[in-house]
Structure 1
């Protein structure tokens, strides 16, 4: 049987995204990706060092936007930081909801991988900004619930238009952040 070498890395990335969506990151092997592309595992490894490298590339655009949001938040204080964090995270989650859906339920484990360690620190700063930079438990819980809920909603409501979903999420965020403790 003749093996086909993938024309581009994009074929491998697309196949990996499809496999991750079906069986999750942990449940997908390099062999599964190769089979989906129609090539050998060695051909996949020619383009990517390992499965983590594929995931890193799939997530790179979202991670770049997250890093830019972190930078914007760091320049703000008080309510302005909270607003930038809330609106920025909603925009990011809506824009990259396909990527969020791919990794649904696997974020805690993935954040322990070296390539994604910095994302955990950014997430902590994002949560702190959403909480209004306070140690008050109700504010911290609200911030965590908002982050998790926004991500989950974006993955769940994939068929809703971007503007409609963004507006619904921002309405929810404003209500949650304006609720007295």
Structure 2
């Protein structure tokens, strides 16, 4: 009797494996062993490790796409505030997926499936940087992007509402306009 939820089991096992060993450090065999299926059965559901990652990250990418569209229609100050809140909500809602992406970011951004993510992330960074475009504002934006994700991975014992408020406040301080 075939298991009807094998696809979901593969995605869950892949998320655990990718979080533990990274995308590059995980093989299809590793995922299949954890699921308790053959590599052939896994390949029946997904044609590659990249396809598993793409499917696993699809909801997070869809929300990033929505945030990207929202930011495009806002002025600089409103875009910065919306970018902060939107990115914090994204990292809190998709900790595992973002941990995988951040863990292997340079390599993943070279894959065709993640080119759009790379472009949206650049636009998100531009919204956080603001109109000054100074080196300090670029560094601050990068710090917020990397820092919010890292804190979300590390602070899983804090209530999400408290962590969200703290991340938004910290990001706003880091991105405060220069005097």
- Counterparts in 2 of 1:1-181, with a 5 A limit? 6-8=3-5, 9-178=7-176, 180-181=178-179
SS of the residue corresponding to residue 178 of structure 1 reads coil
C-alpha separation between the residues in 2 aligned to 1:179 and 1:132?
A: 9
Unaligned 5+ segments in structure 1 are none
CA distance in 1, matches of 2:11, 2:139: 36
- Measured after TM superposition, the shift of residue 104 of structure 1 is 4.1
Could you list the runs of 4 or more consecutive aligned residues of structure 1 that deviate by over 6 angstroms after TM superposition? none
Number of aligned positions between the proteins: 178
Gaps of 5+ in 2: none
Equivalent position SS for 2:131? coil
Structure 1 residue 176, shift from structure 2 partner: 1.3
Give 1:105 shift.
2.3
Tell me by how many angstroms 1:45 deviates.
0.3
Give the conservation status (yes or no) of the 8 Å contact 1:21–1:103: no
Deviation for aligned residue 1:153: 0.8
Equivalents in 2 of 1:100, 1:118: separation in Å?
Answer: 15
For residues 16-69 of structure 1, the C-alpha deviation after alignment (integer angstroms, 9 at most, x for no partner) is 111112211111111111111111100000000100000001100100000000
What TM-score does the superposition give when structure 1 sets the normalisation length? 0.93
* RMSD (Å), alpha carbons: 1.5
